[in-house]
C-alpha cells in the first residue's frame, strides 16, 4: 500500500495492543517476549494480506492503515480469532475511519486519536469500531456488529458511538468492562437486563395505579360514611390529595427503593447537625469578636500602597 508524503488521505486506522503486557513482563519476561513476537507476526501478516500497511510498532502495540474499512475489519477479525483460539494473547483492537496526514513515516489527525481512544476501551478478544466504520461495513452479512452506546473521550469534542464486532469467535465487552480514556465525569450506561426492564415497567404502573386505586376506594368509603352537606364535598376534595401522597409513598417503598424514606430522613438529620455545628461555630466567632472589641483590639486594615507612577 503506497502513501504519498505530506498528503491527506481517507484511511481506516487500526490500533491494537496486548492488555496487561507490563505486568506480564514483570512476572515472566520470556513469555512476554514470545507473545509480543507472535502478536507482531500475526497482525503484520493479516494487515498485508488485506491490503493494509503497518505504520508503527509501540512495544506491545501496533498502528496500521487500510484503504477501506471493510479490509481493516476483516483483518482485525481474522487476527483476533487467531489470538482468541490461542488463548494466551489478550489483544484488544480499535478501528476508525477518517482523514489522516502522512508525513515522515507516521500519520496524524483526529481520526488517529479517535481510533486510539476506541482501542483503549476494549477488552481482550474484542474488536471495536466507530460509527463511521460501522456505516461502511453494515451491508456485509459476515461482519456483525452491536452498538455499545455513545462515549465521550478525552480530547475529542463530540460523543462517538462505538460498535463491537460480534462475529463468532470475537468477544463482545460488557458495559461494566468498558474503562477507556473518557472525559472527566462521563459514566458508561449500564445495559439493562430483561428483569430490570420488567421492574421499571412495574414501577411506572405502581406510581399510577396505587394512588389512583386507593383514591377511588377511599372516596367511595368517605362518601358512604358522610351523609351529605358541605362537609361531604370538602372531604371529597381533600381526599385525593392525601391519598395520592399515601399511594406515592407506598409505590416508593414497593418498587423504587425500600430504604428511600429512611435515607431521606437520615439526610435531613445530617443536614440539621451540619446547620447546628455552623451556628455554634458562628456564635464562637461572634463572641470572640465582641471580646476583642471591648478590649479595643479591633483589627485594622492596612492602607493600600500608593500607585507607582
- Specify whether the CB–CB gap between 142 and 134 falls below 8 A: no
- CB neighbour class for 202 (10 Å; exposed up to 12, middle 13-18, buried from 19): middle
Across-strand partners of 127? 93
Residue 23 clears pLDDT 50, i.e. is over it? yes
Q: 173 φ, ψ to 5°?
A: -65, 145
Q: pLDDT exceeding 90 applies to what percent of the chain?
A: 31
CB 220 within 8 A of CB 236: no
- Predicted confidence (pLDDT) at residue 307 exceeds the cutoff of 50: no
Q: Compute the distance between CA of residue 309 and CA of residue 307 in angstroms, rounded to an integer.
A: 6
**Alpha helices for the chain (secondary structure H):** 21-27, 29-49, 69-86, 110-120, 131-137, 194-225, 230-251, 260-294
Collapsing DSSP states into helix, strand and coil, what is residue 10?
strand
Please name which of 194, 198, 178, 197 lies closest in space to residue 186, comparing C-alpha atoms: 178
pLDDT at 21: 82
- Digit-coded pLDDT (tens) for 36-63: 999 999 999 999 999 999 999 988 899 9
CA 246 to each of CA 13, 54, 213, 236, 239: distance values in angstroms, whole numbers, following the listed order? 59, 67, 11, 16, 10
Residue 191 in grid coordinates: 445495559
pLDDT at residue 158, rounded to an integer:
82
**Distance from C-alpha of 115 to C-alpha of 117, rounded to nearest angstrom:** 5
Higher pLDDT, 292 or 11: 11
Place of cell 487500510: 66
Matching residue, cell 431521606? 264
What is the pLDDT at residue 293?
65
Lowest pLDDT segment from 5-14, 251-260, 297-306: 297-306
Q: How many CB atoms lie within 10 A of CB 120?
A: 20
Range 149-177 average pLDDT: 85
Please tell me which residue, 71 or 215, carries the higher pLDDT value: 71
- For 96-147, what is each residue's pLDDT tens digit? 999 999 998 899 999 999 999 999 888 999 999 999 999 999 888 889 899 8
Residue indicated by cell numbers 460509527: 131
What residues are paired with 53 via a beta bridge?
65
Is the pLDDT reported for residue 76 higher than 90?
Answer: yes
Q: Are 91 and 124 in contact (CB under 8 A)?
A: yes
What is the C-alpha end-to-end distance of the chain, expressed in Å?
69
For residues 138 and 45, the answer to whether their CB atoms sit within 8 Å is no
pLDDT, one tens digit per residue, over 171-210 is 888 877 777 677 665 555 655 666 766 777 776 666 666 6
Strand-pair partners of 56: 63
Q: Which DSSP string do the residues of 157-169 spell out, in sequence order? A: SS-EEEEEE-STT
Q: Which residues neighbour 230 within 8 Å (Cβ) at sequence distance 6 or greater?
A: none
Coil/strand/helix, residue 182: strand
Residues comprising the chain, all counted: 309
Tens digit of each residue's pLDDT (9 = 90 or more) over 225-281: 665 555 556 566 666 666 666 666 665 555 555 454 455 556 667 777 777 787 787
Amino acid at each position: 500500500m503506497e502513501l504519498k508524503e505530506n498528503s491527506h488521505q481517507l484511511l481506516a486506522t487500526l490500533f491494537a495492543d496486548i492488555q496487561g503486557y507490563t505486568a506480564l513482563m514483570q512476572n515472566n519476561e520470556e513469555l512476554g517476549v514470545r507473545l509480543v513476537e507472535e502478536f507482531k507476526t500475526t497482525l503484520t501478516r493479516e494487515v498485508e494480506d488485506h491490503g493494509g500497511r503497518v505504520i508503527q510498532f509501540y512495544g506491545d502495540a501496533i498502528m496500521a492503515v487500510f484503504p477501506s474499512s471493510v479490509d481493516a475489519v476483516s483483518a482485525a477479525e481474522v487476527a483476533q480469532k487467531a489470538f482468541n483460539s490461542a488463548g494466551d494473547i489478550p489483544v484488544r483492537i480499535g478501528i476508525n475511519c477518517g482523514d489522516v496526514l502522512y508525513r515522515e513515516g507516521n500519520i496524524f489527525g483526529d481520526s488517529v486519536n479517535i481510533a486510539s481512544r476506541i482501542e483503549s476501551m476494549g477488552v481482550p478478544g474484542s474488536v471495536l469500531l466507530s460509527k463511521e466504520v460501522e456505516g461502511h461495513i453494515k451491508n456485509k452479512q459476515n461482519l456483525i456488529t452491536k452498538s455499545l452506546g455513545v462515549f465521550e473521550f478525552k480530547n475529542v469534542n463530540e460523543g462517538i458511538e462505538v460498535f463491537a464486532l460480534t462475529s463468532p469467535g470475537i468477544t463482545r465487552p460488557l458495559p461494566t468492562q468498558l474503562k477507556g480514556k473518557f472525559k472527566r465525569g462521563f459514566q458508561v450506561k449500564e445495559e439493562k437486563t430483561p428483569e430490570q426492564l420488567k421492574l421499571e415497567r412495574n414501577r411506572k404502573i405502581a406510581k399510577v395505579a396505587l394512588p389512583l386505586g386507593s383514591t377511588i376506594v377511599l372516596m367511595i368509603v368517605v362518601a358512604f360514611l358522610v351523609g351529605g352537606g358541605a362537609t361531604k364535598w370538602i372531604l371529597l376534595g381533600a381526599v385525593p390529595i392525601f391519598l395520592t401522597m399515601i399511594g406515592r409513598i407506598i409505590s416508593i417503598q414497593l418498587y423504587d427503593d425500600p430504604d428511600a424514606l429512611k435515607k431521606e430522613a437520615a439526610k435531613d438529620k445530617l443536614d440539621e447537625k451540619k446547620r447546628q455545628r455552623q451556628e455554634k461555630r458562628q456564635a464562637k466567632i461572634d463572641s470572640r469578636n465582641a471580646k476583642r472589641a471591648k478590649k479595643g483590639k479591633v483589627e485594622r486594615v492596612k492602607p493600600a500602597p500608593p500607585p507607582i507612577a
